[in-house]
Amino acid sequence: MKIASLRERNFFASADSVGRILDTLSSQNDKLWPCENWPPMVLDATMGPGASGGHAFVRYKVEEYMPGGRVVFRFDGTGLTAGFDGRHYFEVVSRNRHVILRHTIDADGDFKTWLKWKLLIEPLHDALLEDALDKAERNLQGRIRKPARWSLRVKILRRIAAKKRRREEESARRAAQV
């Protein structure tokens, strides 16, 4: 079954300035990923093909990187996105009078994976991406015209995920003491 998402925002800015925002992804000075409110994107190497990592329970590997233009991540089949066969990517798209910063998920999975996407992952994913586009807008234009708002469902799912993360961290701490 198809697992797909498209989130984008138009900017009245140059493709170069939007591309510079994209190029900070997963760096110490990340101007795109909303790590202030979400788990950070962490890679085991500098952004480029072969770097692997993810955010929270989502794991992937950089498949393609075109500085200032596009970065493609392939899901690695583990973590929360186990069962996803596909990729997600950011791209900078020039138009006549504006530039689009776009994030796309293009994957397939069985019914169980699709259901997990619809019930658990998609609402969190969409909220995270809207926060990322807000961060890009703030960095490009100095303010956010219409800030994203989390739904009650997203707030509840975030609370559940945080509790799960804390339990796993505590288990890891206990295991390290043994």
Q: What is the pLDDT of residue 163?
A: 87
CB atoms within 10 A of CB 115: 12
- pLDDT score of 169: 83
Domains along the sequence of the chain with CATH:
2-148 (3.30.530.20)
How far apart CA 128 and CA 133 sit, in angstroms, is 9
d(CA 17, CA 22): 9
- What's the pLDDT score for residue 68? 97
Q: What is the pLDDT of residue 174?
A: 84
Residues of the chain with pLDDT under 70: none
CB contact at 8 A, 68 and 15: yes
Amino acid at 18: V
What residues contact 68, with CB distance under 8 A and at least 6 apart? 15, 16, 19, 20, 22, 23, 92
Strand, coil or helix: 56: coil
Q: What is the pLDDT of residue 63?
A: 97
The candidate with the shortest Cα–Cα distance to 128, out of 95, 99, 88, 97, is 88
pLDDT score at 166? 85
